[in-house]
């Protein structure tokens, strides 16, 4: 009699499928969107909107020029924090618009 295969969690299967199809960045993007306030802070999260995460570049649109300048100075700290949230070095660069 053949041994029954152990069931796998749907989350793991979905992650494997997305990575295999070249869409793994969508998982990371979704995780950052879910924890956006934690990444940016309460006030900055209100004026900074995540546009995308692709090819190691996190694109953020900032609606206020003063905040944009402030976030420019904080890019490296934000990059490290984003990677901590993701659990790997996915974000290589942050681009502010």
* pLDDT, tens digit only, all 97 positions of the chain: 556 666 667 766 666 665 666 656 778 899 999 999 999 999 999 999 999 998 999 999 999 999 999 999 999 999 999 999 999 999 999 999 9
Tell me what pLDDT residue 9 has.
73
Tell me what pLDDT residue 72 has.
97
Does 76 reside within a domain? yes
Does 41 reside within a domain? yes
Does 66 reside within a domain? yes
Does 53 reside within a domain? yes
Tell me what pLDDT residue 37 has.
97
Tell me what pLDDT residue 13 has.
65
Number of domains in the chain: 1
Q: Which residues pair with 59 in a beta bridge?
A: 52, 95
Domain residue limits at 69: 29-96
Q: How far apart are CA 75 and CA 18, in angstroms?
A: 28
Tell me what pLDDT residue 27 has.
85
- DSSP letter (8 states) at residue 55: T
Does 5 reside within a domain? no
Does 2 reside within a domain? no
In this structure, the dihedral spanned by the alpha carbons of residues 66, 25, 81 and 89, taken in order and rounded to 10 degrees, is -130
Tell me what pLDDT residue 24 has.
65
Does 74 reside within a domain? yes
Does 51 reside within a domain? yes
CATH of the domain at 55: 3.30.300
pTM of the full structure? 0.77
């Amino acid at each position: 009699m053949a041994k029954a295969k152990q069931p796998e969690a749907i989350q793991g299967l979905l992650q494997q499928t997305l990575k295999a199809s070249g869409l793994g960045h969508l998982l990371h993007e979704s995780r950052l969107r879910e924890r956006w306030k934690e990444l940016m802070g309460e006030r900055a999260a209100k004026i900074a909107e995540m546009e995308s995460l692709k090819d190691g570049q996190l694109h953020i649109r900032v609606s206020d020029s003063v905040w944009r300048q402030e976030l420019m100075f904080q890019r490296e700290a934000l990059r490290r924090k984003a990677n901590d949230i993701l659990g790997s070095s996915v974000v290589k660069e942050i681009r502010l618009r």
